[in-house]
Amino acid sequence: MTDTVSLDHADLPLRVRDFYLGRQPVLDRNQALYGYELLFRSAGQDEGASGAGLPATATVIAHTAQLGLARAIGDAACFLNVDRDVLFSDIFAFLPRERTVLEIVATMDPDDAVLARMQELARHGFRFALDGVGGDSARLQRLLPLAAFVKLDLRSTRRDTLAGLVSRLQGLGKTVIAEKVETRDEYHVCLDAGFDYFQGFYFARPAVLGGRKLSPSQATVLSLMNQVMSDVDNADIERAVKKDVTLALNLLRLVNTPAVGAPQRIDSLSQALIVLGRRQLQRWLQIMLYAEPGNRGHNQTPLLMLATTRGRLMELLAKRLRPGQRYPGDTAFTVGIMSLMDVLFGIPMQDILDQIPVSDEIRLALLKRQDFFGQLLKLAESIEQSDDDVLPSLKELQISGDDMVELEMSAFQWSDSVVRYAI
């Protein structure tokens, strides 16, 4: 057999234009990033359909892969839902097999042909996850020998059976992922049950409103951000930065990254502040609020990854939709980053805005999701959660599927770069 994965379905559509791409992190027991599940929706699907389920999905994945799948996932693992149509397609020629995990959807019948195809793909280096498992079954036992991962659905698995089921699967050499983890309480239940990885929106939900204190580093960054937004002198900002060694070192590291593009190495804070400028400094401080001190790269909080991706996507959308305006991208980025600060601090957004000077348009977007920037924020939130109203919003904003995916890819790549290198 050659190293080319065979094509069995040659009648797949050549192009699917109206679609968007979402991604959901898969985290380890320390909440560090392991991979992303990529989620696809297209206008040709039924409203309740998932990313897999129609042959058109294969072309969507292929198109995204050709744009550069690595831009969407960095060096993390990539989880993709596949049904029978996709499993027998030629999509796999586009994918980085060493980092791709194919999720066998719960509705797929594991007949002999499916098992043979899985064995063929496994020989080419692909790994499999069993999606939506709710307990032991004949279907699970038939697929289990070919699976590296088993994803247990918290909504269909009894809590009192979790620990025993996880232990049995791990005893068979399987990596067990808890999916649909929606709250921190559920996350801790799954930790106690021994799960290897976790997936869900629990990290993006407030814990206890009004009950959390800012860390010393967050308080310093917030104070400095207030100074920047209040237009104090550079000398005052420099003195404030010098009081926090970590901030000073991170600022120098940031200004010397290729993304900033300084013509020569910058070794002083005064030079760094001049090179960055106020708007870039404000952006960097907004990002730093989400960073865990001492943790770099993908050991950073998943909230940092979500915030930077959301902010960058909104910035790119604003620049595309309002090219003639001076600072639409900066405002959109600020709205995106600040939209998760209530989650970060565990206090209501109104209380945060009482402490940070922002414009009326930013306040309106954050509190009421109104006007242009509020509309962009609602779109970004809908994409993250794969809501059904994304495609009508794209059409209303006159954003094509191709353009949307290109913007998303750019946002994913930028976020990965910032999280990995700039913080």
- Report pLDDT for 216: 63
Please say whether the dihedral angle defined by the alpha carbons of residues 283, 287, 289 and 293, taken in this order, is positive or negative: negative
Give the tens place of pLDDT for each residue, 366-409: 999 999 999 999 989 888 876 666 767 777 778 877 788 889 88
**Tokens 């401080």, residue?**
285
Question: What's domain 206-423's superfamily in CATH?
Answer: Hypothetical protein af1432 (1.10.3210.10)
Please say whether the dihedral angle defined by the alpha carbons of residues 366, 385, 39 and 18, taken in this order, is positive or negative: negative
**Beta-bridge partners for 24:** 37
Does the model's pTM come out above 0.75?
yes
- Report pLDDT for 49: 40
- Nearest CA to 38 out of 9, 71, 16 is that of 71
Quick one: fold of 19-204?
Answer: TIM Barrel (3.20.20)
Spatial contact of 102 and 126, defined as CB atoms under 8 Å apart: yes
Residue numbers of the chain with a pLDDT score lower than 50: 1-16, 43-54, 207-211
- Report pLDDT for 107: 87
Domain boundaries, the chain: 19-204, 206-423
348 token code pair? 């209501």
> ∠ CA 132-304-149 to the nearest 5 degrees?
25
34 token code pair? 């392991």
- Report pLDDT for 111: 93
If 0-12 CB within 10 Å is exposed, 13-18 middle and 19+ buried, where does residue 67 land? middle
% the chain with pLDDT above 90: 29
- Report pLDDT for 6: 44
